[in-house]
Amino acid sequence: MNHKSSAVETTRHEQLGLTDAQVLEMYRTMLLSRRFDERGLLLQRSGKINFHVSGIGQEAAQVGSAFAFRKQHDYFLPYYRDYAFVLAVGMTVRELMLSIFAKAEDPNSAGRQMPGHFGSKRLNIVTGSSPVTTQVPHAAGIALVAKMKKQDIVTYASFGDGSSNQGDFHEGCNFAGVHKLPVVFVCENNQYAISVPYSKQVACESIADRAVGYGFPGVRVDGNDPLEVYRVTKEAHERARRGEGPTLIETVTYRISPHSTSDNDLAYRTKEEVDYHKGRDPIPRFREYLYACGVLSESVETDMEAELAGIIKEATTYADQAPFPQPEDTLKYVYGDESI
Amino acid sequence: MNHKSSAVETTRHEQLGLTDAQVLEMYRTMLLSRRFDERGLLLQRSGKINFHVSGIGQEAAQVGSAFAFRKQHDYFLPYYRDYAFVLAVGMTVRELMLSIFAKAEDPNSAGRQMPGHFGSKRLNIVTGSSPVTTQVPHAAGIALVAKMKKQDIVTYASFGDGSSNQGDFHEGCNFAGVHKLPVVFVCENNQYAISVPYSKQVACESIADRAVGYGFPGVRVDGNDPLEVYRVTKEAHERARRGEGPTLIETVTYRISPHSTSDNDLAYRTKEEVDYHKGRDPIPRFREYLYACGVLSESVETDMEAELAGIIKEATTYADQAPFPQPEDTLKYVYGDESI
Amino acid sequence: MTTISYIDAINAAMQEELQRDENVFVLGEDVGVKGGVFGTTKGLMEQFGEERALDTPLAESAIAGVAIGAAMVGMRPIAEMQYSDFMLPATNQIISEAAKIRYRSNNDWQCPIVIRAPFGGGIFGGLYHSQCPESIFFGTPGLKIVAPSTPYDAKGLLLAAIRDEDPVLYFEHKKCYRSVTGEVPDEDYIVPIGKADVKREGDDITVITYGLTVHFALQAAEELAKEGIEAHIVDLRTLQPLDKEAILESVRRTGKVLILHEDNKTGGVGAEVSAIISEELLFELDAPIARLCGYDVPAMPISPPLEKFYMLNKDKVMEAMRKLALF
Amino acid sequence: MTTISYIDAINAAMQEELQRDENVFVLGEDVGVKGGVFGTTKGLMEQFGEERALDTPLAESAIAGVAIGAAMVGMRPIAEMQYSDFMLPATNQIISEAAKIRYRSNNDWQCPIVIRAPFGGGIFGGLYHSQCPESIFFGTPGLKIVAPSTPYDAKGLLLAAIRDEDPVLYFEHKKCYRSVTGEVPDEDYIVPIGKADVKREGDDITVITYGLTVHFALQAAEELAKEGIEAHIVDLRTLQPLDKEAILESVRRTGKVLILHEDNKTGGVGAEVSAIISEELLFELDAPIARLCGYDVPAMPISPPLEKFYMLNKDKVMEAMRKLALF
Ligand SMILES: Cc1ncc(C[n+]2csc(CCOP(=O)(O)OP(=O)(O)O)c2C)c(N)n1
Ligand SMILES: Cc1ncc(C[n+]2csc(CCOP(=O)(O)OP(=O)(O)O)c2C)c(N)n1
Ligand SMILES: [Mg+2]
Ligand SMILES: [Mg+2]
């Protein structure tokens, strides 16, 4: 990132067509996601919830992607770390809290699914599951419909680096490539699949290298730079809209948290390694950029932190106090015809 | 192919380290395979057998591959069109005939499986099935054992172009790439998957392009040129032996026959197209080369044709007259412990 | 009413639905230009264009997964698996995804897909072109499973499946394609999913079956009638959800029941039918619940005497029916 | 004899076999450096090296397929599926390949692999970390399937599975890992595949079950004994092939049978057990064959009241047992 840009020159984000308000909103979304995520970890440690899976460190990549898409218009198939992504496309922290508390009002699944398993028809966030990359063919299917119906809709599907080794990744990408479908595949490469490092998952230099085998471009981008991620995603989004087919984007990030609250990451990686990457945390980096551009100031920041703290607090209290589903709700919605 | 090489210069095959006897044997194997295949089609048409799947047009690719491997030493996971391949590594025409007649003595499956489903422990031909590319991870597993046990063994696995879109292709290649396993993957690209042409199967220019995503080399080669196929396969074989990992080879061929005896190929491709490729048939082309080198002569050829005709005839009669399995044999070999 | 073959009934159902509803489309290997390896989709590409009879790459998990994605945004895809043996690469998409989309989203998302798969043997297909895979999917709530035996049911169930709000696995028996003909109405109709059908009435024994073996049972019943044995033959038609009422009613009528299917015995649909009966009607039974099914071997071999040994037929069925009647 | 936990029994079995036979190795996601997400493979990499406790890429079909390839050339791979829910991408390798290798090659090739998969719920795993997938594989001849309930059985069956000449699916219940302890012999032993075990003797009712629910049945039986009801409890241990003799013998003893499993009811293993009984012993039954199983929903939700509603427990089991006894 160019830290030397000053307010008088054209800023990087202006060059990308982003307003000050938009980049401030990007920052706010990253921070909101981070605060939610930290609270989730805390709630799990204090026994308030059973499980949390974190996206800490990946917020820039997610927000950079999300801002290239159109809320409540394009279709989204995010993966379980995509909190910043779903916040950016319209989900609220209250909704996320209801999900991690597994409460009846959770719009994702009414407390049926694990946290991080997003879904909201209202927001065009397509219901997701745990087995990784099943959403890749789904995204191709949704994009196929956009093409068949000549609708100006682009589909987003994300997944991890390890997950790009699943058969469904291959089959879904290939299908989208053959039919030149309007879809953007995003691999959030955070260097690990639970304990297994990148080098034991794949032998290619970059996950983006795989795109050539599907006949579309693959782009590797610094996932700690939200503007650069925005830029390449915007390009991919435009390619898709122009009918030129899919793009595979690899956002290079690092999973700062353990895999989930059930994981002890220091059993397979060093504190030094983690600390090194904490030092490259995208949030302070983007903050610095925004200060340098004059978009962020101490007073704006103080207000923002207070606002976010309020949101987190309200959402936590709300979700904590919200009712669980009724036990017999277990039996609902197996089929559309409930008489079965 | 260089048709101008004369007997006094070093021939192409000599440059590759192949003797005259060896290339003659290559030719003989291609021809034997062709004659077997033609007889198979005839037997099906005359109602003697129910089904035949043909490898006509792919013999050069198969023999070129096979000669780079070591009979009864390396491991082989061929696919259903690989008649020339299995003949080259030791299967007899009689055995193939027993298989297409589904007779008890068939060493591949004792008449249980369709023709083209090879298997022979004696010959290190690993039992295969119909669902395509399941053999790719198997080959990786066998190569993993060679590596673990430090054995100088290379594994061959082949499959079609359409089949390279299966998840198992991806997962198997990736596994082999990560562990740098001694295996050669061969895609016999005959331009069709039943009725679906290459252009509707994949969007990449070459199946070999997929190798980069697995971190190993991909090579595209003219599958109508057995010597060129031999050359690249030999290199891949040597890479594998040196511990440098897998290679993906794409042999570009054409499926001259319909998909199988159940297929009417003129419903989806033209006679002109097929005729064009018949004109590029690898067998006459190799024959011409061998004549030019002085390896083949009219008398050698006449003797060879007579010999092969004899083999086909003997095998057909033998297999036709051989007994079927006993009906109750259906119940055998579900488990190792037959008492179950 | 017009008399047509089972395969034509399947083709007609698709043709009519593609005509009626622009959200219906067919996808699969060779379903377009070739019209399917069996010809089930013949003419559809010509009439409705390449996109609505879509030739896909050779990848079943993608075929199912793409169909699921399309269904979630309002389409009614019919995904063809070339042989039911080759749906296994798509198992994860079918069981983890299609079956659970409504439930996991608390009814926010739906997955109205049909997966058609030719199943069953008797065509010299060998191990991998003859299997009955229904037991793999039968234990998965969220899926519906149908398996028609006649042109009437084939067409009516396919129409119902396409219009259904949930994922339906549609198993069509390859051996029935051209060997079974029958009347179908000229006007629009459906056969409701979840309803069994009494294919023959009788008071001595009940035979509960589905698919090809329905015909063996009917043929055997005709012969047994000459011996004075009247069989009551129930065609399940839908395997999931089973028509419990129809099963119990048919057993009440005769007190003796034979369950018949081509799929291997252990863990088959017949086990559940039997369990339902002995849970609900134990004391109305006059004979042990009998099952006549495929042998417990991995799949049927191709060699003619072995295939014949494996397959059920009229005579084997008749023997089992007679034995039950005489119990 | 030493008292250890269920998970330690599994770990010990692998450790001893890796020691005893150089052809045994373990492969799967996170089984090496991390020692497995549950810790089942802890210490194996340290003791036997990276190759024999092999961290694989995240691809279940490859894990199964690579194991199958290795097994065909003489190895004894133990492939770990991180959760049984995630074996579904490997279904084709398991059912089309592992199960059929011996049969399709007429005994020329063998496939002695073990596929270990943690199954079952009660750990707030939600839809995709709680499933019981046994019904998917149960109808496939050529596979063996085991599901131990105690440390003794867990170790003995795993040793037997590794030494078996055929593919064995080994379902280990996650909820048993640390909550169940028991004695295991200090010397080498196996629990033979295909043999059920009477976990408690009684003359009033028979309970046939496997996995976690064995413990609910035992707990319930203790309480019911105070009411004068003596339950005979059979732990199937092996699901494929079922121990038919043991099933029938236990039913003969009491004439009343309750089949119990966590997997959903329709199409579950219990259906086959019931069908076997009513086929063979109908007239020795004094009550309808009862089944108490998971609800027929796609999978159990994570929300605590829903998970509790779904899961069986001592009280639910006791109620069903009492009802049967009083029939
Ligand atoms: C098919 C499947 N196998 C295994 C798992 C268990 N699992 C959950 S997350 C995970 C690692 C994913 O790694 P990666 O794709 O790199 O994403 P990350 O978690 O690093 O964001 C595994 C193995 C799963 N969810 N699905
Ligand atoms: C998983 C699976 N799906 C479908 C089939 C049916 N099928 C048999 S061969 C074939 C086409 C294969 O095409 P390709 O891989 O190009 O090989 P080719 O036949 O052209 O040599 C298909 C679809 C199969 N055998 N396996
Ligand atoms: Mg990762
Ligand atoms: Mg081809």
Contact status, residue C206 vs residue C231, Cβ threshold 8 Å = yes
With respect to residue B173, please indicate whether it lies within any of the assigned structural domains. Answer: yes
* Per-chain mean pLDDT for chain C: 98
Q: What is the distance, to the nearest Å, from the Cα of residue B61 to the centroid of all Cα atoms in its chain?
A: 7
Q: What is the pLDDT of residue A9?
A: 76
- Residue among D37, D44, D58 with most chain A CBs within 10 A, to mutate: D58
| pTM for this predicted structure | 0.98
- Residue-wise pLDDT for D23-70, tens only, equals 999 999 999 999 999 999 999 999 999 999 999 999 999 999 999 999
Closest-CA residue of chain D to B157 = D69
Q: Report the interhelical angle of B282-293 vs B226-241 (nearest 10°).
A: 90
With respect to residue A61, please indicate whether it lies within any of the assigned structural domains. Answer: yes
pLDDT at D134 over 50: yes
DSSP state of C239: E
Residues on chain B touching C88 (C-beta within 8 angstroms): 131
Q: Please state the rounded mean pLDDT for residues C284-297.
A: 98
pLDDT at B3 over 80: no
pLDDT at B327 over 90: yes
**Own/partner long-range contacts of B39-46 (Cβ < 8 Å, ≥24 apart):** B39/B312, B39/B316, B40/B100, B40/B115, B41/B257, B41/B261, B43/B100, B43/B316, B44/B261, B45/B261
- Angstrom distance (rounded) from CA A128 to CA A125: 9
Residue pointed to by tokens 């019911």: D224
Q: What is the pLDDT of residue D290?
A: 98
- Angstrom distance (rounded) from CA A93 to CA A98: 8
The band of A1, judged by pLDDT with boundaries at 50, 70 and 90, is very low
With respect to residue B195, please indicate whether it lies within any of the assigned structural domains. Answer: yes
pLDDT at C15 over 70: yes
Distance from CA of B246 to the nearest CA of C (A): 23
What ipTM score was computed for the predicted complex, to two decimals?
0.98
Q: Give the position, in ligand 2's atom list, of the atom nearest the Cα of C89.
A: 1
- Residue among D23, D86, D106, D143 with most chain B CBs within 10 A, to mutate: D106
The ligand placed nearest to the CA atom of residue D58 is 1
CB spacing of D306 vs A262 below 8 angstroms? no
Q: Could you give the C-alpha distances from B104 to A89, B50, B93, B95, C65, in angstroms and in order?
A: 64, 16, 16, 11, 41
Helix (H, G, I), strand (E, B) or coil at A245: coil
Paired with A248 in beta bridges are: A185, A218
Helix (H, G, I), strand (E, B) or coil at D182: strand
Q: Whole domain around residue A205: which residue ranges? A: 18-318
- Residue-wise pLDDT for A155-186, tens only, equals 999 999 999 999 999 999 999 999 999 999 99
Q: In the Cβ-directed half-sphere of B243, how many Cα atoms lie within 13 Å?
A: 5
Q: What is the distance, to the nearest Å, from the Cα of residue B56 to the centroid of all Cα atoms in its chain?
A: 11
Closest-CA residue of chain C to D135 = C139
- CATH at residue A69: 3.40.50.970
With respect to residue A85, please indicate whether it lies within any of the assigned structural domains. Answer: yes
Q: What is the pLDDT of residue A321?
A: 98
Residues on chain C touching A170 (C-beta within 8 angstroms): 59
- Angstrom distance (rounded) from CA B99 to CA A306: 78
Q: Please state the rounded mean pLDDT for residues C12-20.
A: 98
Domains and CATH numbers, chain D: 2-184 (3.40.50.970), 197-326 (3.40.50.920)
- Angstrom distance (rounded) from CA D117 to CA C252: 42
pLDDT at A127 over 80: yes
| Alpha helix ranges (H) inside D21-150 | 44-48, 60-72, 91, 101-104, 134-138
- Angstrom distance (rounded) from CA C201 to CA B271: 55
Q: Could you give the C-alpha distances from C232 to C255, C321, D45, D265, in angstroms and in order?
A: 11, 11, 62, 28
Which residue lies with its CA nearest to atom 5 of ligand 1? A131
Residues on chain A touching C65 (C-beta within 8 angstroms): 134, 136-138, 140-141, 168, 171-172
Contact status, residue B159 vs residue B153, Cβ threshold 8 Å = no
- Angstrom distance (rounded) from CA D238 to CA D218: 18
Give D145-178 as a DSSP string: EE---SHHHHHHHHHHHHH-SS-EEEEEETTHHH
| Alpha helix ranges (H) inside chain D | 6-20, 44-48, 60-72, 91, 101-104, 134-138, 151-163, 176-179, 213-226, 244-254, 269-280, 304-310, 314-325
Q: Which of D85, D142, D277 sits opposite C298 (nearest CB)?
A: D142
Torsion region of C37: left, alpha or beta (phi above 0 gives left; psi -120 to 50 gives alpha): alpha
Structure tokens at C321: 């029916």
Q: Could you give the C-alpha distances from B190 to B160, B251, B274, C324, in angstroms and in order?
A: 7, 8, 12, 55
Q: Could you give the C-alpha distances from A299 to A10, A31, C215, in angstroms and in order?
A: 24, 16, 82
- Residue-wise pLDDT for A292-306, tens only, equals 999 999 999 999 999
Contact status, residue B64 vs residue B230, Cβ threshold 8 Å = yes
Q: Report the interhelical angle of B298-321 vs B93-100 (nearest 10°).
A: 40
Q: Please state the rounded mean pLDDT for residues D96-102.
A: 98
Structure tokens at A311: 């949101």
With respect to residue B235, please indicate whether it lies within any of the assigned structural domains. Answer: yes
Contact status, residue C81 vs residue C117, Cβ threshold 8 Å = yes
Q: Is C99 on the interface with D (CB under 8 A)?
A: yes
Contact status, residue D310 vs residue C305, Cβ threshold 8 Å = no
Q: Please state the rounded mean pLDDT for residues A122-144.
A: 98
pLDDT at C84 over 80: yes
Q: Is C90 on the interface with A (CB under 8 A)?
A: no
- Angstrom distance (rounded) from CA A40 to CA A53: 8
Structure tokens at D128: 């995709």
- Residue-wise pLDDT for D286-298, tens only, equals 999 999 999 999 9
Beta strands in chain A (DSSP E): 75-77, 155-160, 183-189, 192-193, 196-197, 218-222, 247-252
Residue pointed to by tokens 């058969």: A167
- Residue-wise pLDDT for B56-81, tens only, equals 999 999 999 999 999 999 999 999 99
- For this structure, is A268 an active site residue? yes
- Angstrom distance (rounded) from CA B45 to CA B51: 9
With respect to residue A4, please indicate whether it lies within any of the assigned structural domains. Answer: no
Residues on chain C touching D208 (C-beta within 8 angstroms): none
Angle, alpha carbons C280-C282-C285 (nearest 5°): 125
Q: Which of B126, B334, B337 sits opposite D72 (nearest CB)?
A: B126
Ligand 2 proximity of C59 Cβ (cutoff 6 Å): no
Q: What is the pLDDT of residue B340?
A: 64
Q: What is the pLDDT of residue D48?
A: 98
Q: What is the pLDDT of residue A8?
A: 59
The band of B9, judged by pLDDT with boundaries at 50, 70 and 90, is confident
- Angstrom distance (rounded) from CA B2 to CA B227: 11
Beta strands in B43-114 (DSSP E): 75-77
Contact status, residue C66 vs residue C90, Cβ threshold 8 Å = no
Answer positive or negative: Cα dihedral of C46, C48, C51, C56: negative
- Angstrom distance (rounded) from CA C272 to CA C251: 14
pLDDT at A6 over 80: no
Residues in contact with ligand 1 (CB, 6 Å cut-off):
A 81, 130-132, 159-163, 190, 192-194, 255, 259; D 29, 58, 60, 82, 86, 89
Pairing of strands C205-209, C231-235: parallel
Give percent of chain A with pLDDT exceeding 90.
96
- Angstrom distance (rounded) from CA C168 to CA A337: 13
Q: Could you give the maximum distance between any two Cα atoms of chain D, in Å?
A: 58
Q: How many domains does chain A have?
A: 1
Q: What is the pLDDT of residue B5?
A: 47
Contact status, residue B93 vs residue B315, Cβ threshold 8 Å = yes
Please, which chains are in contact with D (at least 3 CB pairs closer than 8 A)? Answer: A, B, C
With respect to residue A203, please indicate whether it lies within any of the assigned structural domains. Answer: yes
Angle, alpha carbons B109-B115-B119 (nearest 5°): 40
* Per-chain mean pLDDT for chain B: 96
Paired with D114 in beta bridges are: D78, D168
Answer positive or negative: Cα dihedral of C208, C213, C214, C218: negative
Q: Which of A113, A141, A144 sits opposite C104 (nearest CB)?
A: A113
For residue C226, what are the contacts with CB-CB under 8 A and spacing of at least 6? none
Q: Could you give the maximum distance between any two Cα atoms of chain B, in Å?
A: 67
Contact status, residue D63 vs residue D56, Cβ threshold 8 Å = yes
Angle, alpha carbons A140-A172-B252 (nearest 5°): 125
Rg (CA), chain D: 19
| Alpha helix ranges (H) inside C23-59 | 44-48
Q: What is the pLDDT of residue B8?
A: 59
With respect to residue B336, please indicate whether it lies within any of the assigned structural domains. Answer: no
- Angstrom distance (rounded) from CA C190 to CA B200: 35
